[in-house]
Chains A and B, each alone.
Chain A
Amino acid sequence: MFLFVIFITTIAYVFGKANGYGLSFAGIALIISGVMSLGSYYFSDSLVLATTGAKPVKKADYPELYRIVENLSIGDGLPMPKVCVLADPSPNAFATGRDPKHGVVCVTTGLLERLNKSELEGVLAHELSHIKNFDTRVMAVAAILVGFVAILADFFMRSLWFRGSDDDRGRANGIFIIIGIVFAIISPIIATLLQLAVSRKREFLADASGALLTRYPDGLASALEKIAADPRPVRTASNATAHLFIANPFKGKDTKAWFTSLFNTHPPMEERIKLLRAM
């Protein structure tokens, strides 16, 4: 995250210098990006439920699932989140919510069919840890920063069209303009890569926090093995919601090639399982 902020500050500085408008420019971009992201963060629980089609369930419908979530939230001292089930044969789970008071945890019917109790506990502990670690907030901030960079780059490119009579601002700005154009092209990509790196780190963190909660990392490890073995994608997942799931909902091979693996929202399964088994 720190790296991300340094990156943003550099961008804002370069763009500011290049066209002499300074920081007011950056301020507007930040506000636009902020409003967009904060809206989705604040209503993340209802938004995600609406887009994926997950339905809240009562204790009577899925007593074992409900009890596991209840017990785990006692173990972490958190208020109990809403429990939802998504009718989909692909085994997966996600959690969202702006803070523990508004948490939502969801599992697919495919997951419930395949996992035994300790594996289910491992998965739910991982999801609960996402809520506990305020990961939605972290990813929302990251999204704001990415949006900020993209808008800033956009502003900058547009401002180049209107340079016209401003030639007396001085030739010294020339070099910054060139750097600025290069940055404007690659910075949105770099920002996205940094956001994905943050997402992967938070997945590892949730794995570790979940294992700490259950005191049984093997449960989550064997659950991940079972999930990885199923090749079907989750039908209602989209690019916007992909990072919320415990495993990449689009399945397909985890690309090992270094460059494309930078674009994964989740760390490779084998690495996650290896780390858990070694705990």
Chain B
Amino acid sequence: MSVPVIIAIVLLLIVVFYVWGLYNKLATGKVRIKEAFSGIDVQLKRRTDLIPNLVESVKGYAKHEKDIFENVTKARSALMKADSPHQKAESDNMLTGALKSLFAVSENYPQLRASENFKQLQDELSDTESKIAYARQFYNTNVRDYNTTLVNFPGSVLGNMFGFKEEEFFEAQEEERKNVKVSF
């Protein structure tokens, strides 16, 4: 075999290995994103599980705050039904807003505030919110890396060839990030 032919074969092999590596990187990225998403789900479920207890313990002291309870319960069902990252982020925000009102109202009931059960639930909820924040961060980091590979060259070309699409970030739209009004 002559030298030019050998060089051509080596170059071809380099290209083949590169494409192979890139494909695997994208495929692995997709699996990681899925895993990260179910990680968020695990934390969201923790939160939705804590809520009925919280509502019950507040009801014990503040039965007539019906609006607040309804809001919290509605937001909770919305979150449990949500599907895509965008939907989940939105309903998560709504639930946080409803919970803020609930905790604000509980300030008016000193016996409730002092109850051990309530304090513990409050603690666990705030810890769950930290966990959700970290799970979101991990998910978004993976999505960012994956999308960046797809947007750059030659990832964009190969991505189209193999059918890889950009993934959604876990975030709510700008308009929804209004401050929640707390009314008594």
Give A contacts to B, CB under 8 Å: 67, 70-72, 74-77, 215
How many B residues touch the partner, as a band? Answer: 10 to 19
List chain B residues, Cβ under 8 A from A77: 32, 35-36, 39, 138, 142
Residue B131 interfacial (CB < 8 Å): yes
Task: For A78, give the chain B residue with the smallest CB separation.
Answer: B138
Q: State the CA gap A67–B127 with chains docked (Å).
A: 8
Q: State the CA gap A71–B142 with chains docked (Å).
A: 17
CB distance from B174 to the nearest CB of A (A): 20
In chain B between 128 and 142, which residues have their CB closer than 8 angstroms to a CB of chain A?
A: 130-131, 134-135, 137-138, 142
Given contacts A75-B138, A76-B138, whether A70 and B131 have CB atoms under 8 Å apart is yes
| B127 and A75 contact, CB distance less than 8 A | no
| B127 and A74 contact, CB distance less than 8 A | no
In chain B between 19 and 61, which residues have their CB closer than 8 angstroms to a CB of chain A?
A: 32, 35-36, 39, 43
CB distance from B47 to the nearest CB of A (A): 14
21 contacts between A and B (CB under 8 A): A67-B127, A67-B130, A70-B131, A71-B127, A71-B130, A71-B131, A71-B134, A74-B43, A74-B131, A74-B134, A74-B138, A75-B134, A75-B135, A75-B137, A75-B138, A76-B138, A77-B35, A77-B36, A77-B39, A77-B138, A77-B142
Pick the 7 closest A-B CB pairs, nearest first. A75-B134, A74-B134, A77-B138, A71-B134, A71-B130, A75-B137, A74-B135
CB distance from A60 to the nearest CB of B (A): 13
List chain A residues, Cβ under 8 A from B135: 74-75
Q: State the CA gap A60–B142 with chains docked (Å).
A: 33
Q: State the CA gap A141–B137 with chains docked (Å).
A: 32
In chain B between 113 and 148, which residues have their CB closer than 8 angstroms to a CB of chain A?
A: 127, 130-131, 134-135, 137-138, 142
Q: How many A-B residue pairs have CB under 8 A?
A: 26
Task: For A64, give the chain B residue with the smallest CB separation.
Answer: B127
| A215 and B137 contact, CB distance less than 8 A | yes
Interface SS of A by simple majority? helix
CB distance from B51 to the nearest CB of A (A): 20
Q: State the CA gap A71–B136 with chains docked (Å).
A: 11
Q: State the CA gap A67–B135 with chains docked (Å).
A: 14
Task: For B134, give the chain A residue with the smallest CB separation.
Answer: A75
Q: State the CA gap A155–B65 with chains docked (Å).
A: 84
List chain B residues, Cβ under 8 A from A215: 137
Q: State the CA gap A215–B32 with chains docked (Å).
A: 21
Q: State the CA gap A75–B39 with chains docked (Å).
A: 10
Q: State the CA gap A76–B130 with chains docked (Å).
A: 14
Our pick among B39, B134, B142 for the contact of A72 (Cβ within 8 Å) is B134
Q: State the CA gap A70–B142 with chains docked (Å).
A: 19
List chain A residues, Cβ under 8 A from B137: 75, 215
List chain A residues, Cβ under 8 A from B134: 71-72, 74-75
CB distance from B136 to the nearest CB of A (A): 9
Q: State the CA gap A77–B35 with chains docked (Å).
A: 9
List chain B residues, Cβ under 8 A from A75: 134-135, 137-138
Give 13 new A-B contacts, CB below 8 A, not counting A67-B130, A72-B134, A215-B137: A67-B127, A71-B134, A74-B39, A74-B131, A74-B135, A75-B134, A75-B135, A75-B137, A76-B138, A77-B32, A77-B35, A77-B39, A77-B138
List chain B residues, Cβ under 8 A from A67: 127, 130
Q: State the CA gap A215–B135 with chains docked (Å).
A: 14
List chain A residues, Cβ under 8 A from B127: 67, 71
List chain B residues, Cβ under 8 A from A71: 127, 130-131, 134
List chain A residues, Cβ under 8 A from B36: 77
Task: For A77, give the chain B residue with the smallest CB separation.
Answer: B138
List chain A residues, Cβ under 8 A from B138: 74-77
CB distance from B164 to the nearest CB of A (A): 21
List chain A residues, Cβ under 8 A from B39: 74, 77
Task: For B43, give the chain A residue with the smallest CB separation.
Answer: A74
